[in-house]
């Protein structure tokens, strides 16, 4: 069976399948791990609106944790989909 050769775009896209999950894992750890440690140690977080230390369970801290975890999981899933597509022999066509 004749397969199309991998182009530069395919090579870059395939390497993105490994880089995106690494970035996603880092975001997930930052978004979930750091707030958990702050909550467990009850470390005050600087509140830029008032200029005073704030509670780690503040709304902005929770929203940051949720948003980072969601973006991290999306990047992990997209990277996995790219790797599966190239493992199955697909090409971009560019």
Query: What are the extents of the domains in the chain?
Result: 8-87
Is 61 in contact with 94 (CB distance < 8 Å)? no
The model's confidence at residue 87, banded by pLDDT at 50, 70 and 90, is confident
Is 68 in contact with 30 (CB distance < 8 Å)? yes
Q: What is the pLDDT of residue 78?
A: 93
Neighbours of 21 (CB within 10 A): 20
The model's confidence at residue 65, banded by pLDDT at 50, 70 and 90, is confident
Average pLDDT estimate for 85-91? 76
pTM above 0.75, yes or no: no
Q: What is the pLDDT of residues 14-61, one digit of tens each?
A: 888 899 999 999 999 988 888 788 778 876 666 667 767 666 667 777
């Amino acid at each position: 069976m004749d397969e199309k050769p991998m182009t530069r775009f395919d090579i870059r896209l395939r390497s993105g399948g490994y880089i995106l999950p690494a970035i996603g894992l880092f975001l997930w750890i930052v978004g979930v791990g750091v707030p958990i440690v702050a909550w467990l140690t009850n470390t005050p977080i600087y509140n830029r609106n008032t200029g005073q230390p704030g509670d780690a369970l503040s709304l902005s801290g929770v929203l940051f944790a949720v948003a980072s975890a969601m973006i991290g999981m999306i990047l992990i899933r997209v990277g996995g989909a790219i790797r599966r597509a190239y493992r199955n022999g697909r090409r971009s066509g560019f």
